Structure 1
Amino acid sequence: MDWHQSKCNGKQVCVVLDDASRMILAGGEFDRATTEFSIQVLREAYEKYEYLAPIREVITDHGTQFYANTRDSQGNAEHAFEKFCREMEINHILARVKHPQTNGKIERWFGTYKQFRSKYPTFEEFIHWYNEIRPHQSLDDENGDMRTPKEAFWHRVQGHIMRNCNYLFNKQLTEETT
Structure 2
Amino acid sequence: MSHATHANAALTPRARLRLARLIVEHGWPPARAAERYDVSWKTARKWAERYRAEGPAGMSDRSSAPHRQPNRTPAPVVRKIVHLRWKQRLGPVEIGDRLAMPSSTVHAVLVRCRINRLTHIDRATGEPIRRYEHERPGDLLHVDVKKLGKVPDGGGWRYVGRQQGEKNRAATPGKPRNKYRGPLIGTCYLHTVIDDHSRVAYVEAHDDETKETATQVLRNAVAWFAERGVIVQRVLSDNGSCYKSHLWRDTCAELGITPKKTRPYRPQTNGKIERFHRTLAEGWAFKKFYNSESARLAALPGWVHEYNHHRPHSAIGKRSPISRLDNLAGHHN
TM, length-normalised to structure 2: 0.40
- What amino acid is the match of 2:264? V
- What amino acid is the match of 2:259? H
Listed one character per residue, the Cα deviations across residues 117-147 of structure 1 (whole Å, up to 9, x for unaligned) are 134642211211211121101112xxxxx21
Match of 1:167 in 2: none
Give the C-alpha shift of residue 92 in structure 1. 0.2
Give the C-alpha shift of residue 7 in structure 1. 4.0
Name which of 249, 256, 264 aligns with 1:97.
Answer: 264
Is 1:65 aligned with 2:237?
A: no
Give the C-alpha shift of residue 62 in structure 1. 0.6
1:2 touches 1:14 (CA, 8 Å); kept in 2? yes
2:144 touches 2:238 (CA, 8 Å); kept in 1? yes
Change (3 A) 1:115 1:8: farther
Q: Secondary structure at the match of 1:147?
A: coil
| CA distance in structure 2 between the aligned counterparts of 1:7 and 1:137, rounded to whole angstroms | 29
State which structure, 1 or 2, has the greater radius of gyration over its C-alpha atoms: 2
Give the C-alpha shift of residue 8 in structure 1. 6.1
Q: Secondary structure at the match of 1:50?
A: helix
Q: Which runs of 5+ in 2 are unaligned?
A: 1-142, 152-186, 288-295
Higher strand share: 1
Give the C-alpha shift of residue 53 in structure 1. 2.5
Match of 2:251 in 1: 84
1:7 touches 1:114 (CA, 8 Å); kept in 2? no
- Identical columns (%): 29
Match of 1:19 in 2: 196
Match of 1:107 in 2: 274
Name which of 204, 228, 239 aligns with 1:28.
Answer: 204
| CA distance in structure 1 between the aligned counterparts of 2:210 and 2:272, rounded to whole angstroms | 22
Listed one character per residue, the Cα deviations across residues 7-39 of structure 1 (whole Å, up to 9, x for unaligned) are 464311111100011101x32111111111211
Change (3 A) 1:130 1:56: same
Higher relative contact order (CA 8 A, sep 6+): 1
- What amino acid is the match of 1:4? K
Match of 1:5 in 2: 147
Match of 1:129 in 2: 306
Q: Secondary structure at the match of 1:108?
A: helix
1:2 touches 1:61 (CA, 8 Å); kept in 2? yes
Aligned residues: 141
Q: Secondary structure at the match of 1:116?
A: helix
Give the C-alpha shift of residue 49 in structure 1. 2.6
TM, length-normalised to structure 1: 0.73
CA RMSD of the aligned region, Å?
1.7
2:146 touches 2:192 (CA, 8 Å); kept in 1? no
- What amino acid is the match of 1:18? D
Q: Which runs of 5+ in 1 are unaligned?
A: 69-78, 141-145, 162-178
| CA distance in structure 1 between the aligned counterparts of 2:223 and 2:308, rounded to whole angstroms | 18
Listed one character per residue, the Cα deviations across residues 69-110 of structure 1 (whole Å, up to 9, x for unaligned) are xxxxxxxxxx11111001111000000011111111001100
